[in-house]
Amino acid sequence: MSMLNQDDLTLLTGTSNHSLIPWTGQPKGLTPPLIHPALKGPLDELAAKASGAGFTLAVTSAFRSYDQQLAIWNAKARGERTLLNDAGLPLLFDDLSDRDVLEAIMRWSAIPGASRHHWGTDLDIYDLKSLGADKKLELTPQEVAPSGIMGAFHLWLDGLMKQQNACGFYRPYNRDRGGVAPEKWHLSYRPLAQKFDQAYTLSVFHEVISRPGLLLAEYLHDEIEEIFFRYVKNTAPFPEL
Ligand SMILES: [Zn+2]
């Protein structure tokens, strides 16, 4: 039995956003991201802690729909959007086989219908103050490394998480597990994300990769179990709170 309620079940694969709310704590001048209502309190609290430490927590991406993720995926599959290697550097599309393209996409982008961004529980965050007015956010390993412009912000978050004081948030992609590349900027609200994760079974995954219009789908079907466990389920263990 799934522990998700009916509203939440519609979010599992990104086909609905009707139960989400805009986060009103987003810094002024930026578009408020859509979040699950359960995140409002904890995210407000985390933003207040950031502010107390001299940072301005901003969300660059929260909910992403199935259709948005499909557009990202298919653009990468067609070579219309840059593919990155493990170090976050651009790859030459024409040098890659279809299988290589698939691997390169899955390192940095979720399979449509299998993104944690569909749930409203997961956020890509940054410190608006450190970014400065003239810089564009990149979300690269370099940017969040201790010496990068987001370094101090993430070191502060590391400390908060170590003290189990991060308002329920943790990093599912904290280190390289051979699937999705490390993404320090990606936070997940554990109390709810854990329920979504439990509801996300191999049969759910099979349904989403069988939807029409998904490029490279035949390769996903060929190795469905390996890909499911390597790229969808291969995240950090849920921390104690
Ligand atoms: Zn993310």
Question: How far does residue 74's CA lie from ligand 1's centre (Å)?
Answer: 18
**Residue 63, amino acid:** F
Question: How far does residue 124's CA lie from ligand 1's centre (Å)?
Answer: 5
* pLDDT confidence bin for 106, thresholds 50/70/90: very high
Tokens at 182, concatenated: 């490390």
The rounded Cα 88 to chain-centroid distance in angstroms is 16
pLDDT at 24: 98
- Is the model more confident about 89 or about 69? 69
What residues have CB less than 8 Å from 199, skipping those under 6 apart?
2, 3, 4, 9, 12
pLDDT at 147: 97
pLDDT in tens, 144-160: 999 999 999 999 999 99
pLDDT at residue 2 tops 90: no
Question: How far does residue 185's CA lie from ligand 1's centre (Å)?
Answer: 7
pLDDT at 239: 83
Mean pLDDT of the region 61-83: 97
* pLDDT confidence bin for 44, thresholds 50/70/90: very high
Mean pLDDT of the region 91-110: 95
Question: How far does residue 113's CA lie from ligand 1's centre (Å)?
Answer: 14
Question: How far does residue 32's CA lie from ligand 1's centre (Å)?
Answer: 16
Question: How far does residue 117's CA lie from ligand 1's centre (Å)?
Answer: 6
Question: How far does residue 109's CA lie from ligand 1's centre (Å)?
Answer: 9
pLDDT in tens, 113-130: 999 999 999 999 999 999
Q: If you average pLDDT over every residue of the chain, what do you get?
A: 95
Q: Is the pTM of this model over 0.85?
A: yes
Question: How far does residue 171's CA lie from ligand 1's centre (Å)?
Answer: 10
% of the chain at pLDDT higher than 90: 90
